[in-house]
Amino acid sequence: MNISQNSRKFSIAVHGGAGTVIQGQADEAPYHAALAQALESGAALLRRGASALDAVQAACQSLEDCPLFNAGRGSVYTRDARHEMDAGLMDGSNLRAGAVASVSQVRNPIALARHVLDDGQCVLLVGEGAQRFADERGLARMDAGYFDSAERLAQLRRVQAQSGQTALLDHDASGLAAHPAPLNENGKMGTVGAVARDVHGNLAAAASTGGLTNKRPGRVGDTPVVGAGFYADSTTCAVAATGTGEHFLRAAIAHDIHARMRYLGQSLELAADAAVRGTLTHIGGQGGVVAVDSQGRVHCPFNSAGMYRGYIVDDAPAVTLIFA
- The reported pLDDT for the residue numbered 174 is 33
- Helix or strand holding residue 154 (H, E): helix 150-161
Residue 55 CA from chain centroid, whole number: 14
The Cα 149–Cα 39 span in angstroms is 25
Kindly give the pairing relationship between strand 96-103 and strand 124-126. parallel
- The reported pLDDT for the residue numbered 282 is 97
- The reported pLDDT for the residue numbered 180 is 64
Q: Where are the domains of the chain?
A: 12-159+185-313
Type of residue found at 320? T
- The reported pLDDT for the residue numbered 21 is 63
The Cα 193–Cα 230 span in angstroms is 8
The Cα 285–Cα 209 span in angstroms is 18
Residues in a beta bridge with 236: none
DSSP per-residue letters across 289-315: EEEEETT--EE--BSSSEEEEEEEETT
- The reported pLDDT for the residue numbered 133 is 98
- The reported pLDDT for the residue numbered 169 is 62
Query: Does the annotation flag 86 for ligand binding?
Result: no
Are residues 235 and 281 in contact, defined by beta-carbon separation less than 8 angstroms?
A: no
The Cα 4–Cα 196 span in angstroms is 16
The Cα 67–Cα 46 span in angstroms is 25
The candidate with the shortest Cα–Cα distance to 11, out of 196, 149, 181, 150, is 196
- The reported pLDDT for the residue numbered 183 is 74
Task: From residue 285, give the alpha-carbon distance in Å to each of 56, 189, 245, 282.
Answer: 25, 11, 8, 7
Are residues 112 and 139 in contact, defined by beta-carbon separation less than 8 angstroms?
A: yes
The Cα 103–Cα 83 span in angstroms is 8
Type of residue found at 29? A
Query: Does the annotation flag 107 for ligand binding?
Result: no
Query: Does the annotation flag 220 for ligand binding?
Result: yes
Helix (H, G, I), strand (E, B) or coil at 123: coil
Query: Does the annotation flag 221 for ligand binding?
Result: yes
Query: Does the annotation flag 245 for ligand binding?
Result: yes
- The reported pLDDT for the residue numbered 226 is 98
- The reported pLDDT for the residue numbered 24 is 72
- The reported pLDDT for the residue numbered 322 is 93
Residue 231 CA from chain centroid, whole number: 12
Q: Which residues are catalytic?
A: 191
Class of domain 12-159+185-313: alpha beta
- The reported pLDDT for the residue numbered 151 is 81
Residues 29, 33, 39, 43: is their CA dihedral positive or negative? positive
Q: Phi/psi of residue 125, each to 5°?
A: -115, 140
Residues in a beta bridge with 238: 232, 292
DSSP letter, residue 276 = I
Residue 54 CA from chain centroid, whole number: 16
- The reported pLDDT for the residue numbered 266 is 98
Q: Phi/psi of residue 6, each to 5°?
A: -75, -30
**Angle between helices 109-119 and 52-64 in degrees, nearest 10:** 150
- Helix or strand holding residue 20 (H, E): strand 11-21
- In the chain, which stretches have pLDDT less than 70? 1-8, 20-22, 25, 163-166, 168-180, 184-189
Helices (H), 218-279: 245-251, 253-264, 268-273
**294 C-beta neighbours (distance < 10 Å), count:** 19
Residues in the chain: 324
